[in-house]
Amino acid sequence: MTRPYTVLVADDDPDILELVELNFMLEGFDVLTAADGREAEAMARLKRPDVVVLDIMMPERDGLDVLTSLRADPSTRDIPVVLLTAKSTNAEVLEGWRAGAAGYTTKPFDPGELVRYVTQLLSWDYATY
């Protein structure tokens, strides 16, 4: 990483939120957290993080609604969103991709692998492809 990236992590499970936050911090990320979908969407619009890691099943607004809303807004449509969720059927994964997810990780997950995946995603040069 050439600069500290900012990641917004949104999950209603405080243990998962803390685990993911700690792993990103240990790798040099600046980390923002949200405990529900409404807070996640508001923070994404206000802070414009480099990437969002978003649970699907959350109170207030579910992650797919948040993702759809972020994609519809010109100011947030280009922020990569990685879904981190227990929803793992083929139909659920396809729904996430169709909503505009840049990545899809199912729970249980390896936090180190998630950080490596997000780091790789952020280093991808889309302009060359």
The string of pLDDT tens digits covering residues 73-129 is 999 999 999 999 998 888 888 999 999 999 999 999 999 999 999 999 998 754 444
Section 15-25 average pLDDT: 97
The whole-model pTM stands at 0.91
The average pLDDT across 15-19 equals 97
Q: Where are the beta strands (DSSP E) in the chain?
A: 6-10, 30-34, 51-54, 81-85, 103-106
pLDDT value for 128: 42
pLDDT of res. 127: 43
| Residues 6 or more apart in contact with residue 71 via CB below 8 angstroms | 77, 99, 100
Q: 2: pLDDT confidence band, cut at 50, 70 and 90?
A: low
Give the DSSP H/E element, type plus range, for residue 72.
helix 63-72
Mean pLDDT score across all residues of the chain: 92
Could you give all domains of the chain from N- to C-terminal order, each with its CATH number?
A: 6-123 (3.40.50.2300)
Write down the pLDDT at residue 125: 54
